[in-house]
Chain A
Amino acid sequence: MRETWQGPLEKIDDYRWRIPQTYAVGMRVPGLIFADERLLQSITKDQSLQQVANVAHLPGIQRYSLAMPDIHWGYGFPIGGVAATDPDDGGVVSPGGVGFDINCGVRLLRTSLTADAVQPKLKHLVQTLFTTIPCGVGMSGDITVNRDAHREVMVKGAQWVVETKGYGVPEDLEHTESSGALDGANPVNVSNRAYQRGSDQLGTLGSGNHFLEVQVVDTVFDEETASAFGLRIGQVTVMMHSGSRGFGYQVCDDYLEVVERAMPKYGIRVPDRQLACVPVDSEEGQRYLGAMRCAANYAWANRQCLMHLARKAFEKVFGKSWQELGLWLIYDVAHNIAKLERHKVPAENGTEKRLLVHRKGATRAFPPGHPEIPKVYQAVGQPVIIPGDMGRHSYLLAGTDGAMDQSFGTVCHGAGRMMSRAQAVREAGGRSIEKELEAQGIIVMGRGRKGIAEEQPKAYKDVNDVVHVVHHAGIAKRVVRMRPLGVIKG
């Protein structure tokens, strides 16, 4: 099933490659891949570039079907794929362009602790985080919601968690993409089955590549921006990666069927069933977007709950309040989402148009001065959080004007997988990845036996290579690099 890419790939420069529109009949725009020659060697080994070409068939797609350097084979869209469609030009919305885990995303906290202060308590801290935060298959959370509360979560997102549960402070919301709640969420469009699946999942991490990580800043690339983000070398940070849990999966499930059934009505044909789509302004498109926004808001509520639990674990271990420990939220970003945004379209003489930007494993990266980023970051640009694997590094970047010019204000979302799960387990060959990481000073705890082997560092591209490309392509700039100290996995 892992077919090597045989199609054309034109080099634009050291960091940009094009799949010409002539590659396949039906492509409405070319493909544009951000990568260097080294990353291309792994990218061309699976079917992700074919998926870039397939996405280029979507009605109303603008400029390019985009792929970030962490791209890998997904389902329908590649992971690391971006497509902007114009609703006024027959543009479509595709639930597959968002995926099952709607608003899967990452949040990053700083602390006032140094690695030296954390080190003696690191094992205890990781154990406490592991027992405080429900993670892994078959785990429910303690934060349950009845139907009325659930409806409020869908509309208010993280704000509901702060105001109703008292988990966190209003400042957290200012430091969350879209303030932790998208407008236009419509609970009427959410099925009873989704309600049922979401009733006990707030404040749960999940499994697979979801994680919570205690890290230390090991490199500062840009002192001024790092200072604006409240970071300096040697400082401990906390990163978490999770999404909308079963609630979002069910919303996607429900609408894949709705949208596929409706396609003939609009005369739409796509090369992969998973790219099923309908016009943005159609009845089905609006229903999906209303439900998708509910799931996106649920995800922000979930990450707000997870952060609350993490703060409690730190309080328990260090015997101080989270405020005294300086556990402030730097930012929270979505990386599986479709959002209406205003972008310049060259074909329209550079005028701004309202486009629906699908980000499937890709992160919004808005530049300094953009009205949608917090006041406190206006001078430096949006913080962009890029998790790597559990043995190497993660990054904090800042948004740039280059992303607005080239990629609809979008950048990569992580390191990107390179090995299949089975291949990663085979590669581990029964070795204890936990012990290997512990020898490097990284404490890892997980629930499954195979899970940590599946998620081992070698399964991923080196995030340093991925970030090198986006920095030099000018679609984000490096600010700070972190290395892991402790990790919990589902």
Chain B
Amino acid sequence: MTDTGYQFFEHTADVGLRVHGATLAELLCHAAQGLVRLLVEEGPIGSQETRSIELSAPSAEVLLERWLRELLFWFGTDHFLPSDYRLDVVTDTQLRGRIRGERFDSSKHVPGVEVKGVTYHQFRLTHTPTGWDAELIFDI
């Protein structure tokens, strides 16, 4: 694992993401950072806009899926890119916090690839003695 807490792994047509976090909250942040790196290849992402988020799910796996899907929905509707994550409450089944970021700006962001969705294929989230590990594949 790199010091960013996430790394990509290879898939024939799509992109795999491997994520680690000392806590579930940290893993969620690292997964989001990996997603943003796919959407935007280069360019600083500002933090002038703040959004609230509140999610619940029957399990930590579904919470991670819903978190990434929510961020994809934000990007898909008004091109919002998160850069700063204040997750106040994170349990295995609940997440509450504030996300800062800005909207995609083609004058400073080099576009990456469009992420169509978070697939269930080989999706894995495990709680280990050193924290949390996840693997998932994005449809590109």
Contacts and interface: CB of A to CB of B under 8 A. Distances in A.
A207 B111 contact: yes
Contacts of A46: 12
B46 interface: no
A413 interface: no
A249 B9 CA distance: 22
Interface string B113-140: 1101111111100000000000001011
B69 interface: yes
Given A138-B106, A193-B73, A422-B8, A273 B114 contact: no
Given A137-B39, A137-B104, A253-B117, A75 B111 contact: no
A318 B69 CA distance: 44
B50 to A, nearest CB: 20
Contacts of B12: 2, 46, 48, 72-74, 79, 417-420
Interface in A126-154: 136-140
13 contacts: A1-B10, A74-B121, A75-B137, A76-B120, A136-B111, A207-B111, A253-B117, A273-B123, A276-B120, A417-B13, A420-B13, A421-B113, A448-B112
Given A1-B9, A1-B11, A75-B137, A250 B119 contact: no
B40 interface: yes
A52 B110 CA distance: 37
Interface string B78-104: 010000000000000000000000001
B15 interface: yes
A417 B15 CA distance: 13
Interface in A444-472: 447-451, 454
B13 A138 contact: no
B90 to A, nearest CB: 21
B41 interface: yes
A197 B77 contact: yes
Given A79-B13, A274-B121, A450 B77 contact: no
Nearest to B119: A75
B11 A138 contact: no
Given A250-B76, A273-B123, A74 B13 contact: yes
Interface string A412-449: 00000111111100000000000000000000000111
B25 to A, nearest CB: 23
B21 interface: no
Best-surrounded residue of A138, A209, A276, A449 (most CB of chain B within 10 A): A138
Interface size class of A (residues with CB under 8 A): 35 or more
B60 to A, nearest CB: 15
A399 interface: no
Interface in A65-114: 72-76, 79, 96, 99-101
B11 A73 contact: yes
B114 A421 contact: no
A196 B79 CA distance: 12
A260 interface: yes
A137 B103 CA distance: 12
Nearest to A209: B13
A141 to B, nearest CB: 13
For the complex of A and B, 3 pairs with smallest distance between CB atoms:
A75-B121, A138-B104, A273-B120
Given A72-B13, A196-B77, A253-B117, A99 B139 contact: yes
B8 A450 contact: no
A272 B111 CA distance: 32
Contacts of B72: 249
Interface in A27-86: 46, 48, 72-76, 79
Contacts of B11: 1, 73, 420
A260 B66 CA distance: 14
A137 B119 contact: no
A351 to B, nearest CB: 36
A274 B120 contact: yes
Contacts of A422: 8, 10
B114 A100 contact: no
A208 B140 contact: yes
B57 to A, nearest CB: 10
Interface string B1-41: 00000001111111110000000000000000000000111
A206 B139 CA distance: 13
A383 B5 CA distance: 49
A37 to B, nearest CB: 20
Contacts of B122: 1, 75, 272
Contacts of A295: none
A260 B75 CA distance: 25
Interface in A236-259: 246, 249-250, 252-253, 256
A249 B104 contact: no
B121 A100 contact: no
A46 B118 CA distance: 20
Contacts of A209: 13
A490 interface: yes
B1 to A, nearest CB: 15
Nearest to A193: B73
B73 A100 contact: no
A273 B41 CA distance: 30
Given A274-B120, A274-B121, A449-B41, A138 B8 contact: no
A139 B111 CA distance: 10
Contacts of A419: 12
